[in-house]
Structure 1
Amino acid sequence: MNWQQSMAWLESLGQFGSRPGLERINQVLDILGHPERELDVIHVAGTNGKGSVCTFISSVLTAAGYRTGLYTSPHLTAYTERFQIDGVAAPKEELAQYFTQVRSAVDMLQADRNLVLTEFEVLTVVAFLYFAARRVDCLVLEVGMGGRLDATNVVTPKLAVITRIGLDHMGVLGDTLGAIAREKAGIIKTQVPVVLGAQEPEAAAALRSMAKEKKAAVYAAEDLVSVYSKEYDLSGQRFDIKLSDCLLPDLSIKLLGPHQLENTATAVCALQALSDQGISVSDDALRRGLAEASWPGRFEVIKKEPLAIVDGAHNPDGAEALVRTVGEYLDGSQRLLVLGVLEDKDVNSILKVFATIARKAIVTRPESPRAAKPEEVAARLKVLGVDAIVEPDISLAVDKALSLARPQDVVLVCGSLYLAGKARTHLLETNLPYCQYGHRSGSKQV
């Protein structure tokens, strides 16, 4: 198959949705010779921040000279974004070779056992084939959903990392922090070290219990890494990091918001754990890797006037992190929201958070079959006191917000990564000037 044929086949699998379980993917990997067993994997789960943590880790490892693969989901604009080596997306036609191999294996199993893989399972097998063929030194592997039954959980990693856990995918993972944490803890393997990002007590207890059961050494970022914020504006953040045995001053990241400093601490803790296994990085590589890390669609300032920001926050904790970041960086500004959410999320809780910062909302439809109806979302926002109008087309919704914005206003696109990608592309294509402000300074521990 070529790339277009590969995408057509992949799209045909969307009808099968998400079906947790490892039996199907293991049967395909049996036929393909288990390429995942050739890879040194850093396996990352969590509710919020896991993509950012993956990006920080992979960027630092690349800066240290390791050939580093990165597998994430979902993508913002193109499937190739999910497969990166040293920050470069995979070539389409090379990936098409691996889609062809996976389809051949699936066809064999379908004829024999009526087995059909989901879209995410196919993408994950393609990732294993691609990164194994490219002989990466390390693969930073992001969990799709949950952990225990996620397709990525066929690996035995060198290190597991679990970022902050919140309430999301409750219909599948459970409706308490403890239940969700137990699902995420499924990536912890026997005697494989695990790094824990900052957690609520209920989640931390569940994670530590699983680590104890698996005899897995625990590296707790809250205990081992302290981050002291020094200065921040819309171009990035500057801070010091204190480890158990040293101080690293004047580090910087481009990603914005206090939560990104928490993610930085988790990533640095993971790099410490890797150094104990012989995968070491210098202070200079750490500094360069953090500074160069880029993760689009996460409180990303797009060069527009009025100021326009795209953020993929899509659950209550993510929404609260976004609201805190808006308060830190954009004091006194009025916010026009371009908002769309998925119907299988905790929509009421998300909207209550976003309503606290919205002067007006243009409600649109994310590019997903799971998108909530804009008319229903707008009606809920009006009950919360927000002036809301409906424009189902994402590009037109963005244009509407820009036309309504005053010079002092901020246009904020939020609610779903399936909205962020299309809106981001449209904003970049308009190529209007960028208005920079919002500088802050001071010192505080995060």
Structure 2
Amino acid sequence: MGEADIHLVLTPHGGVKLARHHVIPGSRLKLFWNTIVEKGRPTAPFVRNLAATAAHYAHNVLPADMAQLAQLAQVYDDTYRHVAGQPLPPGWGVFSQFFFWCPGNLFIGPEGARRLRDPRDDFEEESGGVTGEIRRRYRQTTFNQMMRFITDPPVYQAEGDNAVQRYGNIVIDRTAPWPLRAQDWAPANPPRNPQKWEIGPQRPPVAGGAQPAVGRVTSMTVGGDVPPLRRLMVGEGRHAVIELAVVDTEPGWLCVEHGEAGTRIPLAEVVAWYRERFGAAVPDTLSQAPMRNLVVDVESYPGRQVVVSRASVTFDLAGTSVGLLLTLQGEQATGDDAPMSATDFVLRADAAFPATQGAHAPRVWFTGTIRDRQGHWLFEASWDDTGEGLDARAIIRLLGAAAEHELPPAGLVPDPGGLTFVYDFTQQMFDVSVVAGGDRVARATIPPRA
């Protein structure tokens, strides 16, 4: 694609700055690496893999840098821990740059200020329009595994090791970021001033445009001061103070902080804090669940703040004890003139079912959202294929199916097949769908177990 094509499609009024966008957000990569090293998990094979691959990356790689990186790969043995204030070993800065700016995790597009839905510090949900859906899903699962480990490292150690291996595959997937292509981007419809762009095909004009929901945070100011929060008070008393460390910062753009509270703040107090601050609603049974660990991320932007709490709990779903990772995400406008109603809240969850003997992974994961549907709390989730090596019927058995009539006919179930379920907290029942080509081809209803 030539420069004239880019100018014609993306810069009709004088030019739009371009940027490299992470599919897996950069701050989470940093946090994951720091956590995996802190917990003593093996990373030497990954370092050697990246060192061998970086020489083929399609950008200017200085021979001196490659020599330092090769030297680091030879001596790195999983025991290195950096001490603040001490010089970094030769090659470490080069490794950090390659790790963070891995081409297989980057694509080129309009800068964030000129994108209609820039995810900022979250996963690029729409990146499949650039990378292709198969690669988007692979990176989504890799990101999910990283966050599972960060939330509860002792319990989800295997997920952390799997994420290192998967990111190693991303490292060798490409030698250059996905380039800017006109067919991957479309102007915001209806037009904006200044014009903004989104990933996806161009659509017919929309008369008047869709109106944002009342109270929902829909825009953000670019520029301005974004100082770190340093600590977060969740509840009352000294135990409710969560100390925050800066993970990533860009002056005038964002500040990302991370903190860990362990088990000292009950989940019910965390939920009450989100209810008061963001109008959150959470099923009572979940609010009372015993918590194994709590981590908090605060993303501060000019005019906006996002507080994400991830709680690791054990919970009973239809008679099956599962590991549940709850994500409470609250977003609010900030500043002296911010309307009090400009808040948003979402409740997501990852559910880990213990795999059967012979599976390649210790757990089978489903990920989705929990919401109130006409007085019924529902957990709507999709199977996150982490490579456990099980077919759809075996996974349905893990959800609690005990009788043959509770399973869909074998001839209707593709292998491995996509799976979704809806869990009703009131009826304590699974409604499982087997999906192929975007269509439901089979269904199974699993009643609660005594």
With the shorter chain as reference, the TM-score category is: under 0.3
Larger Rg: 2
More helix by share: 1
Larger RCO, structures 1/2 (Cα 8 Å, 6+ apart)? 1
Q: Which structure shows the higher strand fraction?
A: 2
TM-score, normalised via structure 2 length = 0.27
